[in-house]
Amino acid sequence: MTEQFKQAGFVLSFLLGLIVTACGQEVKQNQLTKKEKKAGWVLLFNGTTANGWTKSNGDPFPEKGWAISDGCLTVQEGEKGGDIVTVDEYSDFELLVDFRMSKTCNSGIKYFFTNYTSGGRLGFEYQVMDDVGASDNKLANHLCGSLYDIFPPDESKKKMKPLGEWNTARIVSKGQLVEHWLNGVKVLQFDRGSAAYLAAVAKSKDQTDPVFGMVTKGRILLQEHGQSHYLQL
């Protein structure tokens, strides 16, 4: 797995992005190309160590539950390593993650993860799930590609790869506008702070102070959901 963030100047903001490149692709893993370096990308995961990542509570990267092998991060079946987060926080960003799942997989990629004054440590969740086999598949806003428990993905556009094959998640955040992409197709767009957003949050389980998702920055989190499955990134 190759993970990178880039910071590039824009008129009113900066762009930060994370790229996770699937194992087994032809490009050399966990290294930046000249083009990526020129564009300002910075390597976050070197493929062999957990530098730049901790447990979500601030403890060191777990010794069990997450395996680092062949340039990939894998959630190990039957182990409980807990969620892991980036050490640094990010505001505007572009995030790409290649992932593959086993049957019944239920996990997620969280962003704007922070400690709220009331509500605890929370973040937006791009749901990563086996829509057919996972038990939490009854609500549209719980399906793969959703903003979990808030907005569903557009199922008419969504194209999932078969279990065991690589899918690509992409999250783009610029100011208040957020997009979820899956395998090159935009499946969700929302405006943080809009009337529709605030109404959806009010109906969700995430009741916080300040209002959930209205923070200016947060960490990226990879979820270990305690399920009997593998999730590889």
Least confident of 20-24, 186-190, 211-215, 218-222: 20-24
What are the C-alpha distances in Å from 165 to residues 14, 48, 72, 97? Answer: 33, 23, 14, 13
CA atoms of 113 and 58, how far apart (whole Å): 13
- What is the length of the chain? 233
Question: Residue 228 — pLDDT band, cuts 50, 70, 90?
Answer: very low
Question: Which among 136, 131, 71, 63 is positioned nearest to 101, based on CA atoms?
Answer: 131
Give dist(CA 111, CA 116) in Å, integer.
14
CATH of domain 2-232: 2.60.120.560
User: Which residues lie closer than 8 Å to 174 by C-beta, 6 or more apart?
Assistant: 13, 15, 92
Tokens of 211: 């209002």
CA–CA distance, 70 with 199 (Å, rounded to integer): 44
pTM for this model (two decimals) = 0.85
Tell me the pLDDT tens digit for each residue of 56-115.
999 999 988 888 888 788 887 777 889 999 999 988 888 878 888 888 888 999 999 999
Cα–Cα distance measured from residue 1 to residue 48, given in angstroms and rounded to the nearest whole number? 9
Instruction: Return all residues near 201 (Cβ < 8 A) that are at least 6 apart.
Output: 150, 211, 212, 213
Q: What is the pLDDT of residue 18?
A: 39
**What are the structure tokens assigned to 112, written together?**
């704007």
- Could you report the per-residue pLDDT of 114-134, keeping only the tens digit for each? 999 999 999 999 999 999 999
